[in-house]
Amino acid sequence: MEKVIKIEGGHHLNGTVRISGSKNATVALIPACVLGNEPVTIYGVPNISDVQSLIVLLNELGVCVEKRDEETLYIDPTHMENIPMVSKAVSKLRASYYFMGALLGKFGHAEIKMPGGCYLGPRPIDLHLKGFEALGADIQYENGCYILDAKELKGTNIFLDISSVGATINIMMAAVYAKGRTVIENAAREPEIIDIATLLNKMGARIHGMGTSTLVIDGVDYLKGCIHEIIPDRIEAATYVIMAAAMANDMRIENIIPQHLEAIVMKLQEVGINMEVGSDFIHVFKSDKPLKRTEILTKPYPGFATDVQQPFTVLLTQCEGQSVVTETIYTERFKHCAELNKMGANIDVHTPSAFINGKTKLHGSKVTATDLRCGAGLVIAALMADGVTEIHDIYHIDRGYDNLDGKLAHLGAKMWREEVED
Is 402 flagged in the annotation as binding? no
Alpha-carbon 51 to chain mean position = 12
Question: Is the bond preceding residue 122 a cis peptide, omega within 30 degrees?
Answer: no
CA distances from 246 to 3, 271, 364 (A): 26, 12, 16
Q: Please check whether residue 118 is in contact with residue 335, taking contact to mean a CB–CB distance below 8 angstroms.
A: no
Is 264 flagged in the annotation as binding? no
Is 249 flagged in the annotation as binding? no
The candidate with the shortest Cα–Cα distance to 373, out of 396, 343, 344, is 396
Is 333 flagged in the annotation as binding? no
Amino acid (1-letter code) at residue 386: D
211, β-bridge pairs: none
Q: Please check whether residue 365 is in contact with residue 155, taking contact to mean a CB–CB distance below 8 angstroms.
A: no
Is 126 flagged in the annotation as binding? yes
Alpha-carbon 307 to chain mean position = 7
3-class SS of residue 226: strand
- The H-or-E segment that residue 7 falls in is strand 2-8
64 in active site = no
Q: Please check whether residue 258 is in contact with residue 264, taking contact to mean a CB–CB distance below 8 angstroms.
A: no
Is 380 flagged in the annotation as binding? no
Is 348 flagged in the annotation as binding? no
The candidate with the shortest Cα–Cα distance to 214, out of 187, 239, 179, 251, is 187
> Strand locations in 286-340, DSSP E?
291-292, 295-297, 319-326
Is 93 flagged in the annotation as binding? no
Number of H helices, E strands in the chain: 14, 24
Annotated catalytic residue within 33, 64, 118, 145: 118
* Residues composing the chain: 422
The candidate with the shortest Cα–Cα distance to 137, out of 92, 95, 182, is 182
Q: Please check whether residue 282 is in contact with residue 241, taking contact to mean a CB–CB distance below 8 angstroms.
A: yes
Going by the annotation, the residues of the binding site are 23-24, 94, 123-127, 307, 329
Tell me the catalytic residues. 118
Going by the annotation, the residues of the binding site for UDP-N-acetyl-alpha-D-glucosamine are 94, 123-127, 307, 329
Going by the annotation, the residues of the binding site for phosphoenolpyruvate are 23-24
